[in-house]
Each structure stands twice: as C-alpha cells, then as structure tokens.
Amino acid sequence: MKIIFYKSALCPRCHAVQTMLDEITTEHPDLQVEQVDILTSPLRALRAGVHMIPTLDAGKARLSMIMPTREKLRLFLQKNGL
C-alpha cells in the first residue's frame, strides 16, 4: 500500500503523524509513505487540493487531521487497504 503524506517541517501535528507512521511502517513493511513537504513543493500540494496539513492520501481517500490520533490513522489505513 502506498500513501502520500503532505506535511511541513514546521508543523507539530505533522511531526506527531510522522512518528505514528514510522511505528506503523515498522509493523507493516509493505506500507510505502511518500512525503511531500508543502514548503518545498507548494504547487504539488495545491494541485492535489491539499488545504490543511497533515493530510494523507491513499488512492482516492483522504484524511486531514486537526487533532491526529493513532486510532484515526490506523482506521484510515485499515479502511484503505493496510
């Protein structure tokens, strides 16, 4: 499974999601995470329609989180193929 993780190096919520994703990828090595920093790739984020970070895309499914939790993240990944 591949997901795209839209983030910013300056975002504390993004850092929390990164930590959670690192743990999950350790448990599920088949999970591939492509990271897109909106500060260095703003046009890509804009073209993808990303309006908030952190945002995860898995195919056509999208999860944007104001208050990221492990439960929300795991549920999103399970619903979309992990």
Q: pLDDT digits over 9-33, tens only?
A: 999 999 999 999 999 999 999 999 9
What's the pLDDT score for residue 81?
86
Quote the CA–CA distance of 21 and 23 in Å, as a whole number: 5
If you compute the radius of gyration of the chain from its CA atoms, what whole number of angstroms results? Answer: 12
Query: What's the one-letter identity of residue 49?
Result: G
CATH numbers and ranges of domains, the chain: 2-79 (3.40.30.10)
- Tell me the whole-structure pTM to 2 decimals: 0.92
Tens digits of residue pLDDT in 27-70: 999 999 999 999 999 999 999 999 999 999 998 999 999 998 99
Alpha-carbon distance 46 to 2, whole Å? 20
